[in-house]
Structure 1
């Protein structure tokens, strides 16, 4: 038995494949999905999404959105998602520093802008941790 996993952001389809299992970061902790999982709709948190296919495990950084599990189909609709090999460490570090600087300098940000910057810092942190794990 297998699962079909699709990960989509507002910009693009980031991932689609037939897999054995997936571990998704949710606001209530990580959940593992195997074939035959009960139907579920859950909120995705910033974190590491792990895809198992055969003996291989692939890692993606995700943030925000929802995961829908129905039958043997898993669909993740995320604000941001990127595969490990596409993460540009220098670009992520620069974006994270800019967002942290804006947060530090901001006296009166509106709540939406504040939340956006905080999410950017969190997502950047996830990407860097993913990229640096193997060192």
Structure 2
């Protein structure tokens, strides 16, 4: 079951697309999200957001503060600062 994922900073969209998995660091620890995950709202901690895209590609975003929301296989990550890691 694919996830619809959007990673945005305060000023721009960093990445969006379909993914099989999202791993992010929250203030309560690291969390992994797969399709069918229960609804969730969490505070994002500074660190990496790792996305495994539906095509198998790996996307890594360095994110700083914000929140992570999961609802009906839609994952939204909003960070005050975020940038793709090369």
Match of 2:21 in 1: 21
> 1:37-52 maps to which residues of 2 (within 5 A)?
37-52=37-52
Q: For the residues of structure 2 that align with 1:7 and 1:58, how far apart are their CA atoms? A: 11
**Partner Cα distance (2:52, 2:68) in 1:** 17
Unaligned runs of 5+ in 2: none
Distance in 2, matches of 1:84 and 1:38, equals 28
Scaled by the length of structure 1, the TM-score of the pair is: 0.60
Higher relative contact order (CA closer than 8 Å, sequence separation 6+): 2
Residue 57 of structure 1 aligns with which residue?
58
1:126 is matched with none
Between Structure 1 and Structure 2, the one with more strand by share is 2
Secondary structure of 2:37's partner?
coil
Q: Which moved more, 1:52-61 or 1:42-51?
A: 52-61
Higher helix share: 1
Structure 1 Cα separation of the partners of residues 7 and 57 of structure 2: 18
The corresponding residue for 2:67 is 66
Q: CA RMSD in A?
A: 1.0
Taking the TM superposition and a 5 Å limit, the aligned residue runs for 1:92-107 are none
Cross-structure match for 1:132: none
Query: The residue matched to 2:14 in structure 1 has which SS?
Result: strand
